[in-house]
Chain A
Amino acid sequence: GDSVTQMEGPVTLSEEAFLTINCTYTATGYPSLFWYVQYPGEGLQLLLKATKADDKGSNKGFEATYRKETTSFHLEKGSVQVSDSAVYFCALRGGSNYKLTFGKGTLLTVNP
């Protein structure tokens, strides 16, 4: 079945540091890939997505590129801010169903 393996946290960075959160997946067919962010006590917000190989999703300075050859969708940001502190979830939607499969989430804490 489909699965998402996500870099284990927590990750603690200083403001303006570079961020990478690794995400790899296993899926049949051609899945769509997503990054969601969850702030404390809230639901999930879509951060970015990519629907086919080599697509780059980007939003709010975050980027991730759909790499079919390495089955990866790593999240990056060049300069993190304190307000980026949250839990980040990598997810995929398989080609043949409507379900989202989530990674375990990575807690990011950015210190001033």
Chain B
Amino acid sequence: GAVVSQHPSRVICKSGTSVKIECRSLDFQATTMFWYRQFPKQSLMLMATSNEGSKATYEQGVEKDKFLINHASLTLSTLTVTSAHPEDSSFYICSASPRWGTGGSLGYGYTFGSGTRLTVV
């Protein structure tokens, strides 16, 4: 089945530093990847959509300069939280959508990574 690997699963960083989160599709090519943020006991908030080889599309209210997204290949997208502050502490989850013609039974579904718990101290 389709697998999306997200790394790291947990990270603690100091305020003012930057943190990079990786999202890899292991057995399919991901034309599109999505980055979500989830607050405690709440739903997922879509932050941005990244397409391989082009600039990410950010949702309204999401700071592009704070949350840098790079989708350099069909199997890797990264989210960098720059100059992190305690209010950036959250659970970040990526998901991937396959390139048309690959990914087997994914159909219209998406595969999610296991998430990254970011704590900024």
Contact = CB atoms under 8 A, between A and B. Distances in A.
A81 interface: no
Given A44-B93, A49-B108, A93-B108, A99 B113 contact: no
B97 A105 contact: no
A60 to B, nearest CB: 14
Contacts of B117: 41
A34 interface: yes
Contacts of B114: 42-43
A17 interface: no
B29 interface: no
B108 A32 contact: yes
Interface in B38-76: 41-44, 46, 49
Interface residues of A, number: 21
A20 interface: no
Contacts, number: 49
A74 to B, nearest CB: 18
A36 B93 CA distance: 14
Contacts of A105: 41-43
Interface residues of B, number: 22
Interface in A71-108: 89, 93, 98-100, 102-105, 107
- Tell me what chain A mostly uses at the interface: helix, strand, loop, or mixed: strand
B111 interface: yes
B6 interface: yes
B109 interface: yes
A100 B113 contact: no
26 contacts: A32-B108, A34-B109, A36-B112, A41-B115, A41-B117, A42-B114, A42-B115, A43-B93, A43-B113, A43-B115, A44-B95, A46-B110, A46-B112, A49-B107, A51-B107, A89-B44, A93-B108, A98-B97, A99-B34, A99-B46, A100-B46, A100-B110, A102-B43, A102-B44, A103-B43, A105-B41
Closest 6 CB pairs of A and B: A44-B112, A43-B114, A43-B112, A43-B115, A32-B108, A104-B43
